[in-house]
Structure 1
Amino acid sequence: MHESEIGYPPGPKGGKPYRAMINDLNSILSADKVAVATHFHADLLRREMPRFADELLNGSGDKVRRALENLHVLPVGIALSDLHPVGLNGPNRILWNHRWSHDKNPGEFVHAMALLAAEGHEFELYALGEVERAGEKAFRRLKEQLSDRVLLSGTQSSETYRQALCRSDLVVSTAHHEFFGVSVAEAIAAGARPVLPDRLAYPELVPSAYSSEFLYHESLETALSSILSSSRDELHRHRHETREHIANFGWEKVAPKYDSLLNELLSPHS
């Protein structure tokens, strides 16, 4: 289960996607094995899905708990071979590479960039990702207020996108929902320093020894303000460690884990 509806933040109209949550519940109960991409997602399912099952079908929570006892964590595989940092001059480049949708919280990102610009920080922006209806207002505000700093925006070709990853100094997020974070993981692999909220699956994407440097608790603007005041060499002083950590999600290491679980599933003795 790359994603599930449990824990998904309500949209502008509010309410919960009960039909999709029921589909997730039925999938779990009918599966021989269940796997998710992160420990965050595993913990969320174990905590919330039995509760939902009890609300929906009184007394069925125990059945769901048993189904989730042996929940497997299989990270999303990432192709790393073409992701390498490019030496840069000039202002630091900040990358936003998420869907422009309510669950990714683009309004907070745009607000932070506007504050940093007003404070006099020099930076350039890659504001990438599909623009959905819920994110149109924030995207338009970014283009109106910071057009002179935006190098690329919206959806790009895969090659242009790859080049932007490799030319980024910082990858940021303000998301309220993230079960893995493929786009962030790819950016870190390409050499970008992560600046991520200390929630959701993000702590699993950075080395635990340096989590205090890469995960913020207050606001993105506060986290970036001090970082942008440092030199590029200082900014990237732990690049080796972050790229080494993300290498654990490369297909070379992840594919054998998938093979092992599938072989176990197909074994006549399983």
Structure 2
Amino acid sequence: MSILIIEAFYGGSHKQLVDLLQEELEDCVLYTLPAKKWHWRARTSALYFSQNIPISEHYRLLFASSVLNLTELAALRPDLGKLKKILYFHENQLVYPVKKCQERDFQYGYNQILSCLVADVVVFNSVFNMESFLTSIGKFVKLIPDHRPKDLESIIRPKCQVVYFPIRFPDVSREHDKDPETFFKVLMHLKDLGLNFHVSVLGETFTDVPDVFSESKETLGSSVLHWGYLPSKDDYFQVLCMADVVVSTAKHEFFGVAMLEAVYCGCYPLCPKDLVYPEIFPAEYLYSTPEQLSKRLQNFCKRPDIIRKHLYKGEMAPFSWAALHGKFRSLLTTEPREDL
């Protein structure tokens, strides 16, 4: 097995990516930890993997998401430190939203910066993700009271590239950072106006679920078609194919797999004119305020035929595995190194 894949948070899009790579690429071996207690995975997974990944002379390349502290792993396991190391960013901790600024733990972002310095190649799933990370490094290190490191952006940037998250689209013939309050507030307003609609709220449930979810489910009552996590991907896509509109109210999004999957299944997307969305969706699918979102949904409720006849004007192909597999194969091509 020449490609060693490590995923410290094996769930959601992180799981989707490494499962796809292991299935589609030859000579891969995968080591994971369950997608629970993210903060502890970021703090301690390197030590766990250092003790649980067998020593092998066959490894030539290491691919890991940025949850892993790559610096610690390379120090604890010099044999792995010698490999070509590729770090993939699903999200970055320099601009990841927190409820209060003082809640931001400096160490998470600092670990990602260190991991970039150790990595040979740093890959981001969007230009927004890459630029928001790189351009925040200077401000971030100013939090250090004295003896600050210098020129980190200029050191890291040459290693960086963007390779969109590869989606294996189906054959059709998911916390406070997603801002559920705004989403449900808009739906309540539609209900107060007496407009007819149905809603499906899909996604994994983690430890802390905002109260607004349970309260809204009760208030929306018979308007709810589906609620919660659908373990079967086929069932999930079936629900998407039944829907007319897919809405994001996210305050944090570095890519947005679920939105693209829904659009592929025929949904009309409505996304904030912010974050990664302008990079992926044409302007007509973006809104600037909750009021704009509400007005558009009101119109759709009154005239559902408008969206049912609509043909999506954006591009889906660039985000497909079919289009991206060549880039990933090139990225994960292992060339023998003289020092191994």
Same structural fold, with TM-score higher than 0.5 when normalized by the shorter chain: yes
Q: Which residue of 2 aligns with 1:111?
A: 185
Cα distance, 1:48 vs structure 2:
0.2
Q: Does 1:136 align with 2:213?
A: no
Deviations 1:234-255 (A, max 9, x none): 214543434xx12211100011
Cα distance, 1:132 vs structure 2:
4.0
- The 8 Å contact of residues 3 and 179 in structure 1, kept in 2 or not, is answered as yes
Cα distance, 1:103 vs structure 2:
0.4
Cα distance, 1:225 vs structure 2:
1.9
Alignment-mate amino acid for residue 261 of structure 1:
L
Alignment-mate amino acid for residue 156 of structure 2:
A
Q: Which residue of 2 aligns with 1:79?
A: 168
Aligned with 2:225: secondary structure? strand
Cα distance, 1:14 vs structure 2:
5.3
Q: Which residue of 2 aligns with 1:152?
A: 226
Which of the residues 200, 213, 218 maps onto 2:289? 218
Q: Which residue of 1 aligns with 2:4?
A: none
- The 8 Å contact of residues 254 and 275 in structure 2, kept in 1 or not, is answered as yes
Q: Which residue of 2 aligns with 1:181?
A: 256
Q: Distance in 1 between matches of 2:170 and 2:216?
A: 32
Q: Which residue of 2 aligns with 1:197?
A: 272
Cα distance, 1:51 vs structure 2:
2.5
Q: Which residue of 1 aligns with 2:301?
A: 228
Cα distance, 1:83 vs structure 2:
4.0
Which of the residues 64, 86, 89 maps onto 2:153? 64
Q: Distance in 2 between matches of 1:125 and 1:165?
A: 11
Identity %: 30
The more displaced of 167-176 and 122-131 is: 122-131
Which of the residues 240, 252, 262 maps onto 2:332? 262
Q: Does 1:50 align with 2:122?
A: no
Cα distance, 1:142 vs structure 2:
1.3
Q: Distance in 2 between matches of 1:189 and 1:205?
A: 13
Q: CA RMSD in A?
A: 2.3
Cα distance, 1:230 vs structure 2:
2.4
The more displaced of 65-74 and 116-125 is: 65-74
The more displaced of 145-154 and 159-168 is: 159-168
Q: Does 1:122 align with 2:196?
A: yes
- The 8 Å contact of residues 189 and 247 in structure 1, kept in 2 or not, is answered as no
Q: Does 1:164 align with 2:164?
A: no
Q: Distance in 2 between matches of 1:144 and 1:137?
A: 11
Q: Which residue of 2 aligns with 1:239?
A: 311
- The 8 Å contact of residues 135 and 153 in structure 2, kept in 1 or not, is answered as no
Alignment-mate amino acid for residue 216 of structure 1:
Y
Q: Which residue of 2 aligns with 1:92?
A: none
Q: Would the alpha carbon gap of residues 62 and 173 (structure 1) be closer, same or farther in structure 2, given more than 3 Å must change?
A: same
Cα distance, 1:133 vs structure 2:
5.2
The more displaced of 57-66 and 153-162 is: 57-66
Cα distance, 1:6 vs structure 2:
1.3
Aligned with 1:122: secondary structure? coil
Cα distance, 1:63 vs structure 2:
2.8
Q: Would the alpha carbon gap of residues 110 and 41 (structure 1) be closer, same or farther in structure 2, given more than 3 Å must change?
A: same
Cα distance, 1:59 vs structure 2:
4.6
Q: Distance in 1 between matches of 2:225 and 2:311?
A: 23
Q: Would the alpha carbon gap of residues 115 and 29 (structure 1) be closer, same or farther in structure 2, given more than 3 Å must change?
A: same
Q: Which has the larger radius of gyration?
A: 2
Unaligned 5+ segments in structure 2 are: 1-88
Between the two proteins, the alignment pairs up a number of residues equal to: 246
Alignment-mate amino acid for residue 331 of structure 2:
L
Of structures 1 and 2, the one with the larger relative CO (CA 8 A, separation 6+) is 1
Alignment-mate amino acid for residue 202 of structure 2:
L
The more displaced of 222-231 and 55-64 is: 55-64
Q: Distance in 2 between matches of 1:14 and 1:54?
A: 15
Q: Which residue of 1 aligns with 2:92?
A: 4
Q: Would the alpha carbon gap of residues 12 and 181 (structure 1) be closer, same or farther in structure 2, given more than 3 Å must change?
A: same
Q: Distance in 1 between matches of 2:100 and 2:222?
A: 30
Q: Which residue of 1 aligns with 2:9?
A: none
Aligned with 1:135: secondary structure? coil
- The 8 Å contact of residues 177 and 251 in structure 2, kept in 1 or not, is answered as yes
- The 8 Å contact of residues 268 and 312 in structure 2, kept in 1 or not, is answered as no
Q: Which residue of 2 aligns with 1:20?
A: 108
Alignment-mate amino acid for residue 266 of structure 2:
G
Unaligned 5+ segments in structure 1 are: 85-97
- The 8 Å contact of residues 54 and 61 in structure 1, kept in 2 or not, is answered as no
